[in-house]
Amino acid sequence: MTPKVYVNGKLFDKPDAKISVYDHGLLYGDGVFEGIRIYEGRIFRLKEHVDRLFESARAIKLEIPLSHAQMMEAIQATVSANNKRNGYIRPIITRGAGYLGLDPRKTSDPQIIIIVDDISLYPPEFYENGLEIATVSTIRNHPAAVSPRIKSLNYLNNILAKIEGVISGCQESLMLNHLGEIAECSGDNIFLVRDGVLKTPPVEAGILEGITRGAVLELARAAKMSVQEMTLTRHDVYIADECFLTGTAAEIIPVVKCDARVIGTGKPGPITRQLREAFRQLTMAN
């Protein structure tokens, strides 16, 4: 079945889904997006994702030409049109077509695009055995420049970090903030376990507030785990008993090595496994 793509209220076959080459989303990365999962026909935390989509748009002064409720309905309708039981949704809002030049006042008609398709971020063996990450020189965007809390179409910061990680032979890259503290990975949030305490960088470290990150924090607190959102350094990663990453596409994936240092036993740890199973149950019950 050819995927159906929503563009401004109409569904198009994937090859026919098009926008203007003068769109500022293409010319300047001027727009916002979300990544959302479908599990057994259920859209996981749709409201939270649409909330963040509208927050990102508001932060860049981009008016979405649908209401919150209409956006949720459009996403649900596009999933239904694609008859997708398990998959990935990518809603995108661009500034719209205009003239060459940065001035957003010269654009018109923001574009609403909703893609429903499959995604596989990491090979299955990494979920069983863990992956290796490497700290890269590309730092997370300074929060006083472009806020990392905005999920914008300008992802070059993350892509440059990803390139560094790939060159070093790793599947994922660990990014520091401007203070040299742990922020997040190129596409995922990071968690550590030390002496039974679950630790993750706070929002103030310059991270995107991941929806999956939030779900993991809820699951950990519900299980009466000790949880700390706190400043972390590479030293904390090196001496951790366990490490894992979270993200909509990645879900929960264990990390067993960072910068050539083995983490814990070199295998996915018990808390990581416990939270993975709790998250799986959550997605099935959603």
pLDDT tens readout for residues 130-154: 999 999 999 999 999 999 999 999 9
Average pLDDT taken over every residue of the chain: 96
Cα–Cα distance, 143 to 187 (Å, whole number): 17
Catalytic residue, chosen from 4, 84, 151, 199, is 151
Contact predicate 236/212, CB 8 Å: no
pLDDT at 286: 62
- Number of domains making up the chain: 2
pLDDT tens digits for range 38-64: 999 999 999 999 999 999 999 999 999
Answer yes or no: do 167 and 244 share one domain: yes
Cα–Cα distance, 111 to 98 (Å, whole number): 12
Annotated catalytic residue 151: yes
Domain CATH code at residue 179? 3.20.10.10
Confidence check: pLDDT of 224 > 80: yes
Answer yes or no: do 111 and 141 share one domain: no
Helix axes 46-59, 211-222, angle to 10 degrees: 130
- Specify the pTM: 0.95
Last residue of one domain, picked from the residues 78, 100, 117: 117
Last residue of one domain, picked from the residues 117, 139, 165: 117
Range of the domain at 184: 124-285
Q: What percent of the chain has pLDDT over 70?
A: 100
